[in-house]
Amino acid sequence: MVIAFSPQSALGQLLLLRSIAIVLQLILVIISILLLDKDIPHRPVFTIIALESVFQLFSIFIYRRSREISERAMTLQLVADVLFLSVLLSFLGGASNAFVSLLLLPCIIAAVTVSIGYVLFVSASALSAYGYLYVAVTMPMHHHGMHMGEHLLGMFVNFVFMVVVTVGVVALLVKRIREREALLAKTREKQLQQEQLLALGSAAAQVTHQLATPIAHLSLLLEELQEDYPNHPAVKEMVAPISQCRTQLDGFRDQTELLKLKGQSQAQSTDYILSQLEELMALQYPKQTIDIVEQTTPVSIQGDPMLIPSLLNLVVNAAKANERTGMTQIDLRAFSKNGFWYLTIKDQGRGIAQQKLDTIGKSVVDSDSGFGMALLLTHATLERIQGELKLENMAQGGVLSTAKLPIVGAE
């Protein structure tokens, strides 16, 4: 029989502990019968242990293909342990048995493995079982002994206190550990993302450096061709692309210099940002119509060397989406609200597949024209200056991109 769960899993550890408990129960009962000459009801005790063994084998058979089980199933397993132990103790002295404190163990396991609602259910089951053993089993046996009754009552009160304190402390510690693990996982994810962005930036810088020499060489050749063939149509058509390549390289060098002086960055006006976006889009996509409306008074936001290129990525994506559908209209709306400046970009494309909306911009994913690197860089830049990026499909078609940036001086 192939078993999928491992001994390190919660299910594996629970079944292992129960197997050990069954063996110890048999050993202790046999020792009590043979050596201590205890008046133990043999048939009921061995019947309960046999039923517990059958339940253990049944659980192993049912969950043999499961690596983990649900919280409800784990709770039922723990309640079954409480039930078997309480029935066994009812034939062995009830609450006066020294092993009655083992009812605390399922509560502790529940506090580590399941949520608080199930923990309370298991704890209530253990308290009910102890109360049954104290009232229905132990009290009739010792109603003539006042001192023994007070001792058993003290044990019951102590058990209630131990359940409340132990389960509460363990549940709190488990919650703190899970929060720390989630924080470490999030920190590691951010670190991996930063390493990915750093590698991407290094590759982009290297490619730009390698392209600088060929573009300079082409510029010299173009100047010679302009002198020899000033009116040739091909020569005239080469001017704009090569000029655009030089402009992009110069812009990249300027951004690199700004990154070196990042500690001296100053606030940027939203008017300047919108004008730069309009100018750059007119240069790169002259056939696209950019409709920019600033609905509130211009404000200042935290400056960053990569802010304008990041916002430009969003507008470029909108232009590419329009080109795939033959549209030319891009709507930009800017407004201030509650200490934040919002920039919405609306295109007329086909939209983004619904399954990609949650991950695009946060990790490298396949997109229509690449791997979503532009959105990844934009998201990282906005996050660095405490901003946010939201993408959503519109009912009438297209994508609505919303950049949210904090206003300088706003509380």
In this prediction, residue 351 carries a pLDDT of 82
Question: pLDDT tens for residues 368-395?
Answer: 554 466 777 788 788 878 888 888 888 8
pLDDT classification of 332: cutoffs 50, 70, 90: very high
> What's the confidence (pLDDT) of residue 180?
87
Say if domain 266-406 classifies as CATH 2.40.30.10.
Answer: no
- Global pTM? 0.53
C-alpha–C-alpha distance, residues 32 and 28, integer Å = 6
Confidence of residue 296 (pLDDT cuts 50, 70, 90): confident
Angle at 401 between CA 399 and CA 402, to 5 degrees: 150
More confident residue, 207 or 144: 207
Given this model, what pLDDT does residue 90 score? 86
* pLDDT exceeds cutoff 70 at 35: yes
Are 299 and 267 spatial neighbours (Cβ–Cβ below 8 Å)? no
Q: Give the chain's mean pLDDT.
A: 81
- pLDDT value for 371: 45
Q: Is the pLDDT of residue 111 over 70?
A: yes
Q: How does strand 329-337 pair with strand 340-346?
A: antiparallel
Q: Specify the higher pLDDT residue, 367 or 69.
A: 69
Give the best-scoring range by mean pLDDT among 37-41, 100-104, 193-197, 330-334. Answer: 330-334
Q: What is the pLDDT of residue 51?
A: 93
Nearest to 245 by CA among 235, 253, 257, 233: 253
Mean pLDDT over 130-152 rounds to: 68
Cβ atoms of residues 288 and 319 within 8 Å:
yes
Q: Are 397 and 380 in contact (CB under 8 A)?
A: no
**Nearest alpha-carbon partner for 168 in 218, 209, 110:** 110
Residue 358's pLDDT band, with cuts at 50, 70 and 90, is low
Picking from 19-23, 196-200, 208-212, 297-301, which range would have the lowest pLDDT averaged per residue? Answer: 196-200
Average pLDDT over residues 188-209: 68
Q: Where in the chain are the domains? A: 10-183, 189-260, 266-406
Residue 223, pLDDT > 90, answer no
Tell me how far apart the alpha carbons of residues 277 and 272 are, in angstroms, rounded to a whole number: 9
Answer whether residue 202 shows pLDDT above 80. Answer: no
Cα–Cα distance for residue pair 71/118, rounded to 1 Å: 8
- For residue 402, the cross-strand partners are 344, 390
Give residues with Cβ within 8 angstroms of 184, minimum separation 6: none
Q: What's the average model confidence in pLDDT over 288-308?
A: 85
pLDDT band of 141, cuts 50, 70, 90: low
Long-range contacts of 240-246 (CB under 8 A, 24+ apart): 242/215, 242/218, 244/283, 244/284, 245/211, 245/215, 246/215, 246/219
